[in-house]
Amino acid sequence: MGIIEIYDLYFKHKPEDDYLLKGLNLEVKEGEILALIGQSGCGKSTLLSIICGIIPHIRRGCIEGQVKLMGEEVKNIKIKDIAKRVGIVFQDPDSQIFLPTVEDEIAFGPENLMVPREEIGHRIQRALKAVRMEAYRYENPNNLSGGQKQLIALASILAMEPSIFLFDEIMAQLDEEARRQVKKIMLDLNKAGKTIIFVEHDTGALDLAHRVLELKDGVLRELKGW
């Protein structure tokens, strides 16, 4: 059994649209690092939103087929329980960051998961250290650069300690050094048994992946030879 399983998924955002995903299948094994590539607008972010239950729990759309996390259909799992299993870092950090300090931002997820206060403190420290942003703990995220906000968004998901991480082009706004650090975080997560799906346009990141999948014409195709 895969940790993520998708069978014959059809999806469109609006009834009047053509289908964006057309009979898509995917099985991801626990501990895999998977890269997802494809042209702009082909549906990569949409697919990640479906895997983490944003669609259909928060945003609607026309969806058919099965999407399972750890053997259970996402549509039947409560949002709170999905958040324990899968964390997503969005393409645009502004859509993820909304609290007045970096510390509040990182504490928000674990607080909602009812993690004890002392443990939340440890998680904030660990997450900030991982993204090398310890110096910004009491800053207002609005004063940070796009790349720094992306690192804080990443830290806030690290602090939730899910089993599956979805990263949607999180390297795009980062400088070379921060990119290296994020790659290291991904490898460390993977060593700890975590499963990762990442979307990147920059082919320089693809060497991390165990498998590279291309989304095209609404289905996934594995690219060999990476």
Strand-pairing partners, residue 73, are: 68
Closest contact distance (angstroms) between CB of 90 and Mg ion is 9
- Say which residues have a Cβ less than 8 Å from residue 81's Cβ, sequence separation at least 6: none
Q: Which is nearer to Mg ion, 52 or 133 (CB)?
A: 52
Which residues of this chain interact with ligand ATP, rule CB under 6 A? 13-14, 20, 38, 40-46, 59, 91
User: d(Cα 192, Cα 207) in Å, to the nearest integer?
Assistant: 19
Residues in the chain: 226
Our CB check for Mg ion shows the closer of 45 and 156 to be: 45
Comparison of 44 and 194: residue with beta carbon closer to Mg ion: 44
Closer Cβ to Mg ion, 45 or 195, answer by number: 45
Please tell me the distance from the alpha carbon of residue 60 to that of residue 6, in angstroms, as a whole number.
18
Contact segment (CB under 5 A) with Mg ion among 2-10, 41-49, 149-157, 182-190 equals: 41-49
**Binder to Mg ion among 26, 35, 45, 165 (CB under 5 A)?**
45
Cβ atoms within 10 Å of 151's Cβ, excluding its own? 28
Shortest distance, CB of residue 108 to ligand ATP, whole angstroms? Answer: 23
The residue written with tokens 């004063």 in the block is 143
